Amino acid sequence: MRYLADLKEGQQTVDIYLCANKQILKTRAGKTYYSVRLQDQSGTADAKIWDLNDGINNFETGDYIKIDASVVSFQGGLQFNIRRLRVADEGEYDPKEYVPTSQFDIDQMYRELLTYIDEMDDEWLKQLASKFFIEDSRFKDTFKGHSAAKSVHHAFYGGLLEHTLGMLKICRFMASTYPQLNRSLLYSGALFHDVGKLKELSTFPIVEYTDEGQLVGHIIIGIEWISDKIREIKGFPETLANLLKHMIIAHHGELEYGSPKKPELIEAVVLHYIDNMDAKIMTFTSLFKDVDEKDDWAGYQRLFEGNIRRTRY
Amino acid sequence: MRYLADLKEGQQTVDIYLCANKQILKTRAGKTYYSVRLQDQSGTADAKIWDLNDGINNFETGDYIKIDASVVSFQGGLQFNIRRLRVADEGEYDPKEYVPTSQFDIDQMYRELLTYIDEMDDEWLKQLASKFFIEDSRFKDTFKGHSAAKSVHHAFYGGLLEHTLGMLKICRFMASTYPQLNRSLLYSGALFHDVGKLKELSTFPIVEYTDEGQLVGHIIIGIEWISDKIREIKGFPETLANLLKHMIIAHHGELEYGSPKKPELIEAVVLHYIDNMDAKIMTFTSLFKDVDEKDDWAGYQRLFEGNIRRTRY
Amino acid sequence: MRYLADLKEGQQTVDIYLCANKQILKTRAGKTYYSVRLQDQSGTADAKIWDLNDGINNFETGDYIKIDASVVSFQGGLQFNIRRLRVADEGEYDPKEYVPTSQFDIDQMYRELLTYIDEMDDEWLKQLASKFFIEDSRFKDTFKGHSAAKSVHHAFYGGLLEHTLGMLKICRFMASTYPQLNRSLLYSGALFHDVGKLKELSTFPIVEYTDEGQLVGHIIIGIEWISDKIREIKGFPETLANLLKHMIIAHHGELEYGSPKKPELIEAVVLHYIDNMDAKIMTFTSLFKDVDEKDDWAGYQRLFEGNIRRTRY
Amino acid sequence: MRYLADLKEGQQTVDIYLCANKQILKTRAGKTYYSVRLQDQSGTADAKIWDLNDGINNFETGDYIKIDASVVSFQGGLQFNIRRLRVADEGEYDPKEYVPTSQFDIDQMYRELLTYIDEMDDEWLKQLASKFFIEDSRFKDTFKGHSAAKSVHHAFYGGLLEHTLGMLKICRFMASTYPQLNRSLLYSGALFHDVGKLKELSTFPIVEYTDEGQLVGHIIIGIEWISDKIREIKGFPETLANLLKHMIIAHHGELEYGSPKKPELIEAVVLHYIDNMDAKIMTFTSLFKDVDEKDDWAGYQRLFEGNIRRTRY
Amino acid sequence: MRYLADLKEGQQTVDIYLCANKQILKTRAGKTYYSVRLQDQSGTADAKIWDLNDGINNFETGDYIKIDASVVSFQGGLQFNIRRLRVADEGEYDPKEYVPTSQFDIDQMYRELLTYIDEMDDEWLKQLASKFFIEDSRFKDTFKGHSAAKSVHHAFYGGLLEHTLGMLKICRFMASTYPQLNRSLLYSGALFHDVGKLKELSTFPIVEYTDEGQLVGHIIIGIEWISDKIREIKGFPETLANLLKHMIIAHHGELEYGSPKKPELIEAVVLHYIDNMDAKIMTFTSLFKDVDEKDDWAGYQRLFEGNIRRTRY
Amino acid sequence: MRYLADLKEGQQTVDIYLCANKQILKTRAGKTYYSVRLQDQSGTADAKIWDLNDGINNFETGDYIKIDASVVSFQGGLQFNIRRLRVADEGEYDPKEYVPTSQFDIDQMYRELLTYIDEMDDEWLKQLASKFFIEDSRFKDTFKGHSAAKSVHHAFYGGLLEHTLGMLKICRFMASTYPQLNRSLLYSGALFHDVGKLKELSTFPIVEYTDEGQLVGHIIIGIEWISDKIREIKGFPETLANLLKHMIIAHHGELEYGSPKKPELIEAVVLHYIDNMDAKIMTFTSLFKDVDEKDDWAGYQRLFEGNIRRTRY
């Protein structure tokens, strides 16, 4: 398929895109038309259907739609004028092509993630990690494809996996460099810190907060999930369970960021910083993708509470 | 027994008290002596053992000790000079006499609490409340005797029960007055909001934070407990479980007070205020017990972030 | 009259509405037209006068205008195209029909409010309340019709009365349940806490901050008013006056919310929570009136600093 | 009289001092003795009465006591050992000698203050100032002798007058330099900003918060006082009254410092800074009086939220 | 030239203006047109070039352009329709006419500023001030023309000079009135407090943050500049250098406003307030220039965190 | 020598210690005695000189003193009763033995630090680092021996070096793992982030804030130092200098922690976290050295704003 980002003014396209949003509007003259947001993994584009004739079949937000459209330029951007449209059949398209996706191979990242479980010395924590990441195939599939966030950092298919793996790499280095850190606990903290997001956020292509996500939040969702699996492991030490739960609970670092406890273990302190480092580097990099190559500054960014700058001179 | 608070300068006592604290010290002259804090339900008193002779048997903090002592006055307070001491045998004393206790009858309060469960319309929530407060006799016993806090408000045997009942009364009134409130959800919020404290704080006579309490905290402990019981109820609606969990999660009202979510349901908003009202009225009343009857002002109180005053004129 | 909310596309109306706002604009082609906001108690509507002919008499914002208009649909909403317009004469309309009004009977609420004054034990406070709510008929009339706020909670005719009465009900319950509370002081706090709003906000149909309201604020306006009335009561105890003033001063609960003192009396602590409970329940209920019946979540709400949800499952 | 600060080890004194505090204590050996804090305008000193014989008459905190004592050195400080003591008769002493007092002549400062009232252009504000500072002789006397604070800045007899005058000087300069400032309003703000302190704090020699001071606070006390006097001035413009009240209300600058409104008038903005400048310069100067001459740094000072340094090099 | 602010609907103008901004847009019909913001010292105006014919020469943002245009009224404002346009040659215009400029004579203000340097007692600080303000002619020129801010206060040609002089006047008064203040240090603080802005902000006509300004900030830029000059003065006391640096570092008053140290010297405390007073008076005055003469209130103002009001009655 | 930490009750010692503090006090009976704090690298101990006879020579705080003392037990701790004392001669003792010192070899750490300079790609930054760490031998010596803090983390001889090296290790890992990070800039940030501390804190054995340290602070001291060296490098790019300065300025991460700019470069963001991680791991480890081996919890720790726990189970 030809990605939206590659189409240019004056071209025609007959291809399938995700309808990310559909609105029914009226012109000043009172004529009804549709405003449609098309999406594929390269991004989104604005489209209009001015003439609601027989060539335009019924469709809704969330449908994959096959369109016949011409690309025009309007107020500095491109606009797709759709002449014909029908909902595509399953099989006609590959849903993965319609969501932003990690640039790394997902299965390979996952295999790499498993090597960290191998490295864990503590048999209880290792067994727990295996129960999730090796034995529970439904968890495995969801985890692989999940986004780490609704927007901001790692907001793409495989994002949570990529972010977790990024953290694990730093964890490995820190545990090797500072022997006072408990490696197994630190790895477990990285592996599980955001598993609650699998239920807090719905899955691609539409990533939204779920009812449970808004009412309970990923920290507590994650804790409950972990408790359930721990219950399946006979003899799992209660104190160890509490230490692990504390890692998850405290990973936001401050009460006002939603952690009901501040870090009380050195591994929890470190995990909080590692989470921030990986997430902020990715966000920084991703924010500058939308900044004109000739500009050094990206303007005010809420996440960084200020203006940010490319490092070049 | 004669309570510590009733003893006066010049009197003798041969009675059993809880040793709440024992320290080994030395006089300036280098002689070893013991400083002991005696406790019963009327309060605590300072005692000394100046002469470590044969009449003084071995004992430790936490022991119930039978002492032979004379009461003297020292620097504006009373001091017990202990001459003889032995650890009391179980059966010689009633532990309840050594902890501050609710002024209300505990069993009667508990029976009253059960009437609120009766009133609940929602069968799922009613069943859940029954599982805890009626069917689980171990829970019942612990709940009856627990303190609502390490210090501050309702810090006595039966304190959590008294506080929960106090909240339920206001909940009943609010649910009757504002029909838009869901009575069952509000009652459930009151009943369960602090059940995690049963594991966060150790039991009388020594109330301390447990390891689990410090690492995980009573909010999440409570959530997990509730989840466990819900799992035993087949068909319990998942959404309802999330609403109830939210009631517990949000009852501190603000992230910086340790709630990982701010109240998002009107019942959660109301529960937060009801919790505060009952707790603050009790704290206020209790703080003024230690203030000289002739003084209107109690001086700076951390909980109220200022000076507080008796209401009289 | 036919309310704005009941009119539909394609209908004609010849009726009187309040002109809540009038703007003189120009079309792209340079032709002058008027944009008018119509108001009645059912809400507001957008109207245009495209043709400024003889049928359109002079009028200003704040006038009650009789219009002859047709209702058309424009960009998803309705628009009134006005062909003829004249200012209505007093007597042709009932101003109450043009402001949002409490759903409860105002006189009956007021009678109920007076029963609380009856219940007050303290003769001084009772006498003071009578001076305002019984003897001062101008105060009585203004109080009955006032809004509790410019927007947000109880922002309708009779809103302050409804809110005060809501608080009094909870006060009665609290004073009965917690005998340590001074009933008369608590009731007085509820009755007087917002009387300053009668001068802080102008009256319906246009509710705006007055100059005095912005410079001095309703807390201090209220205090001065109370002082004036107290001065008329010979022998009113000075200390009692200070306690009552403190109730008003502290009812916002925190310095940063505009209370120059934090609550120092237990009745002031409780009044602050009662004020919040009644106000927040009403706000919650009112916010969801504008939310689509099929949606559970109302989206981010500034007053609750987050998203809020209907309680249903 | 010989001031406490001038007495040295080994000397005898037979003189009258204020008993700022009296405590009844016991020695380790159980013997009762009195610990007394003596005060005069040079400061305070620690005294003991070891032998409670016939030469020691009854006395209480607040009494002026004539003592016969010898000065000894104890743990790096001086201690007065009192052998004989009786309460002095009025007339035997001049109370002013027992309180710290402004170094400037109070009547002369007051005369200077009146010149600012002369300068006021606005006849209403001038008349109001006269009602307080010229016509009300009781106000005048209290104002002259009052402290500007319980401790910290200008905490001495005449302190409020000295501080008010200091502010007026800056006000005069600012009004001359910035013609957009309303001179009369600015002067009035300075004159009245702390008049509420006359009732918030009790008078020398014992400066404590009054009941009214704690419950209502000097800002609102001041506002009520001003309102009372304004009522006596027929035709005083209501808007002007509100502007003046705003000056008082907002002079703490921020809600969290107890101002229920932030400054909304430029004169209120400026007054807030002028108040701070005069108060902080005096505090700075006064803090360094207690710092060893050879030290540059005074150590952490709560008012300045940090360490402060003498300016010298 | 005829200033933009003086032109009226229906007039023609053939004159030179600064092109503060140029945008290329399209009409709904797809036709390209230019939207141009014209600027001179009287303000800015909106212009359009609908017909991109031969009479319209190439030009860019930042150019001084000679235009032939007619003034029309559009949606309540004026719009310039440009028919012919060319870039003006240097010499055809005086850049000073195109930037907002202090209403005071810049050279005279500068001469007045020098008198303060004359008054300084401390020879080291005087010598330092001379090195900047007398001997360094490039500094002198930049300082004279600089803006004190990107927007808000003193945002005009000569603004920094006017603001510095305003502060010096207050400094002189304060040093005379409070002898404990070190005059030379206080004057130096005023002179140097914002010199870093000469590099933090680019110069007129386009005032933007420089790269250095954003990365390093005017406080540290100023410190480095001062250090450089101090190094040229043999024997300059190191302690004095530190005191002066502290004046600059601390002038924002609080860490959260970007001062890495809170004021520790009394002169630093005072300088902070003087800076605020002059800046806020100017901002207040300037904000009301844009408010309708009949309105008392200016609406919410971010700098004052609230609504502000003219002082009149 | 025998370290203070190794001496036990009942032993005698004739050895040299640092007098960290000397106080002249009096017993109750009025007899003068000295209270002395002894220090060596194992810690500090309390000593008394009861008998000020000829065997006790003159000495001051900061002297190395040779004492003849016996060790007694007093109130749960040890006390040294000094019988004879004289100031030791230089040469009799090795100052390094009297300050806490890094457990790692300082020269070896320094050699390792130099390898990071080798790795830097950017020739300008490399040259700058060399100017400090290789060519400036006085800097080198001070840097090697300096403490990273007055107390808290790395508060020992070699502490700054150890901390800097710890950060560099993490920097190397991060630069290798995240290619978008500029390695040279990140290393330079670590190398220079605290060099200002060499002047902010005095050197061992007495580590106190210097006058410059308190007035100016290590961030700005460091910036000035770096600027001075940059000036010696002809052609050093100005933009690069600003980027580097920003790294130093922003390393505290937040304005309220004393950084006048929040991190605007991704390397500055990362450096801030790396600084925290290394410092907090060391503090955590060091705090638990003083906690009884049998306790899991260390109690409230200001730096972590809460209780902290050993990781064991």
Residue of D nearest to C225 (CA): D224
pLDDT at position A152, please?
65
Distance, in angstroms, between F41 CA and closest chain A CA? 23
* 3-state SS class at A59: coil
**Is the preceding omega at residue D263 within 30 degrees of 0, hence cis?**
no
- Paired with B69 in beta bridges are B13, B82
What value does the mean pLDDT take over residues B266-287? 96
pLDDT at E218 over 90: yes
pLDDT at F288 over 80: yes
B9–D contact, CB cutoff 8 A: no
User: Which chain F residues have a beta carbon less than 8 Å from that of E217?
Assistant: 249, 260-261
A178, A180, A311 member nearest F265 (Cβ): A311
C78–D contact, CB cutoff 8 A: no
Interface test with C, best of D185, D200, D210, D220 (most C CBs within 10 A): D220
* 3-state SS class at C161: helix
Percentage of chain E exceeding pLDDT 70: 96
Distance, in angstroms, between F144 CA and closest chain E CA? 25
Distance, in angstroms, between C3 CA and closest chain B CA? 27
Dihedral angle, C-alpha B116, B118, B120, B123, nearest 10 ° = 140
User: Which chain A residues have a beta carbon less than 8 Å from that of C72?
Assistant: 30
pLDDT at F35 over 70: yes
Better pLDDT: D46 or C167: C167
D208–C contact, CB cutoff 8 A: no
F202–A contact, CB cutoff 8 A: no
| Residues of chain A falling short of pLDDT 70 | 26-30, 75-77, 151-152
User: Which chain B residues have a beta carbon less than 8 Å from that of C170?
Assistant: 173-174, 177
pTM (2 d.p.):
0.89
- ∠ Cα C142 C144 C149 (to 5°): 80
Distance, in angstroms, between E43 CA and closest chain D CA? 23
pLDDT at position B312, please?
94
Measured CA to CA, the distance from residue B310 to residue B284 in angstroms comes to 9
Q: Pick from C80-89, D97-106, F51-60 the range whose average pLDDT is largest.
A: C80-89
F238–E contact, CB cutoff 8 A: yes
CB B204, CB B147: distance < 8 Å: yes
CA distance from start to end of chain F: 39
Tell me the residues of chain E between 113 and 152 that have a Cβ less than 8 Å away from chain D: none
- What secondary structure does DSSP assign to D45-104, as a single string? EEEEE----TTB----TT-EEEEEEEEEEETTEEEEEEEEEEEPPTTSS-GGGGS-B-SS
Distance, in angstroms, between D310 CA and closest chain F CA? 11
pLDDT at position E219, please?
97
User: Which chain A residues have a beta carbon less than 8 Å from that of B258?
Assistant: 255, 260-261
pLDDT at B67 over 90: yes
What value does the mean pLDDT take over residues D31-47? 86
Residue of D nearest to C255 (CA): D256
Mean pLDDT, rounded, of chain C: 91
User: Which chain B residues have a beta carbon less than 8 Å from that of C169?
Assistant: 177
Better pLDDT: E254 or B290: E254
pLDDT at position F44, please?
81
Q: What is the pLDDT of residues F60-84, one digit of tens each?
A: 888 999 999 998 877 556 889 999 9
Residue of C nearest to A23 (CA): C76
Q: What is the pLDDT of residues D82-95, one digit of tens each?
A: 999 999 998 999 88
CA distance from start to end of chain A: 39
What value does the mean pLDDT take over residues E27-56? 83
Of A16-25, F175-184, F209-218, give the lowest mean pLDDT range. Answer: A16-25
A237, A281, A313 member nearest F270 (Cβ): A281
Interface test with A, best of B212, B214, B215 (most A CBs within 10 A): B215
pLDDT at C30 over 80: no
What value does the mean pLDDT take over residues B231-251? 97
pLDDT at C27 over 70: no
Neighbouring chains of F at 3+ CB pairs under 8 Å are: A, B, D, E
Measured CA to CA, the distance from residue F98 to residue A93 in angstroms comes to 75
A301–E contact, CB cutoff 8 A: no
User: Which chain E residues have a beta carbon less than 8 Å from that of F238?
Assistant: 212
- Judge: F281–A269 Cβ closer than 8 Å, yes or no: yes
Q: What is the pLDDT of residues C217-237, one digit of tens each?
A: 999 999 999 999 999 999 999
Measured CA to CA, the distance from residue C67 to residue C93 in angstroms comes to 13
pLDDT at position E28, please?
57
C307–A contact, CB cutoff 8 A: yes
Q: What is the pLDDT of residues C237-272, one digit of tens each?
A: 999 999 999 999 999 999 999 999 999 999 999 999
* Long-range contacts, stretch E175-184, CB < 8 angstroms, 24+ apart: E177/D166, E177/D169, E177/D170, E178/D281, E180/D281, E180/D284, E180/D285, E180/E266, E181/D281, E181/E266, E181/E267, E181/E270, E182/D311, E182/E122, E182/E267, E183/E119, E183/E120, E183/E121, E184/E120, E184/E121, E184/E122, E184/E125, E184/E126
pLDDT at position A30, please?
61
Q: What is the pLDDT of residues F99-156, one digit of tens each?
A: 888 889 999 999 999 999 999 999 999 999 999 999 999 999 999 989 888 766 788 8
The neighbour count for residue D205, using CB atoms within 10 Å, is 18
What value does the mean pLDDT take over residues C127-153? 91
Better pLDDT: A234 or F2: A234
pLDDT at position F141, please?
94
pLDDT at position C78, please?
81
- Judge: E258–F256 Cβ closer than 8 Å, yes or no: no
Tokens linked to B107: 């069993």
CB B136, CB B159: distance < 8 Å: no
User: Which chain C residues have a beta carbon less than 8 Å from that of A26?
Assistant: 73-76
Residue of F nearest to E219 (CA): F260
Measured CA to CA, the distance from residue E39 to residue B81 in angstroms comes to 91
pLDDT at D207 over 60: yes
pLDDT at position E27, please?
65
Q: What is the pLDDT of residues E70-106, one digit of tens each?
A: 988 776 568 899 999 999 998 999 888 888 888 899 9
pLDDT at C28 over 60: no
What value does the mean pLDDT take over residues D285-300? 88
Better pLDDT: B272 or B29: B272
pLDDT at E171 over 80: yes
Q: What is the pLDDT of residues B156-194, one digit of tens each?
A: 889 999 999 999 999 999 999 999 999 999 999 999 999
C73–A contact, CB cutoff 8 A: yes
Q: What is the pLDDT of residues C266-309, one digit of tens each?
A: 999 999 999 999 999 999 998 898 788 888 999 899 889 999 99
Distance, in angstroms, between E200 CA and closest chain D CA? 27
Tell me the residues of chain C between 244 and 263 that have a Cβ less than 8 Å away from chain D: 245-246, 249, 255-261
E24, E26, E211 member nearest A74 (Cβ): E26
Q: What is the pLDDT of residues B98-132, one digit of tens each?
A: 888 888 999 999 999 999 999 999 999 999 999 99
Interface test with B, best of F72, F75, F295, F312 (most B CBs within 10 A): F75
pLDDT at position E76, please?
58
User: Which chain A residues have a beta carbon less than 8 Å from that of F269?
Assistant: 277, 280-281, 284, 304
C216–D contact, CB cutoff 8 A: yes
B30–F contact, CB cutoff 8 A: yes
pLDDT at D30 over 70: no
Of A60-74, B17-31, B224-238, E245-259, give the lowest mean pLDDT range. Answer: B17-31
User: Which chain F residues have a beta carbon less than 8 Å from that of E242?
Assistant: 211-212, 215-216
A297–E contact, CB cutoff 8 A: yes
Measured CA to CA, the distance from residue A48 to residue A56 in angstroms comes to 12
* Long-range contacts, stretch F69-74, CB < 8 angstroms, 24+ apart: F69/F12, F69/F13, F69/F14, F70/F10, F70/F11, F70/F12, F70/F13, F71/F7, F71/F8, F71/F9, F71/F10, F71/F11, F71/F12, F71/F13, F72/B30, F72/F9, F72/F10, F73/B26, F73/F9, F74/B26, F74/B30
Count of alpha carbons within 13 Å of D86, Cβ hemisphere only?
Answer: 7
Residue with tokens 């608070």: B5
- Judge: C224–D219 Cβ closer than 8 Å, yes or no: no
Measured CA to CA, the distance from residue D36 to residue D46 in angstroms comes to 6
pLDDT at C154 over 90: no
Tokens linked to C270: 């409780």
Interface test with D, best of E266, E288, E303 (most D CBs within 10 A): E266
What value does the mean pLDDT take over residues C90-104? 88
pLDDT at position A75, please?
59
D214–B contact, CB cutoff 8 A: yes
pLDDT at E162 over 80: yes
For this complex, say whether ipTM is above 0.85: yes
Report the amino acid identity of residue B251. Answer: H
Residue of C nearest to E307 (CA): C214
CB E18, CB E66: distance < 8 Å: no
Residues 6+ apart with CB under 8 A from D267: D181, D182, D185, D186, D189, D247, E311
pLDDT at position D22, please?
87
- Regarding chains B and E, contact by 3 or more CB pairs under 8 A is answered as no
Question: Please, which pLDDT band fits residue D96 given cuts at 50, 70 and 90?
Answer: confident
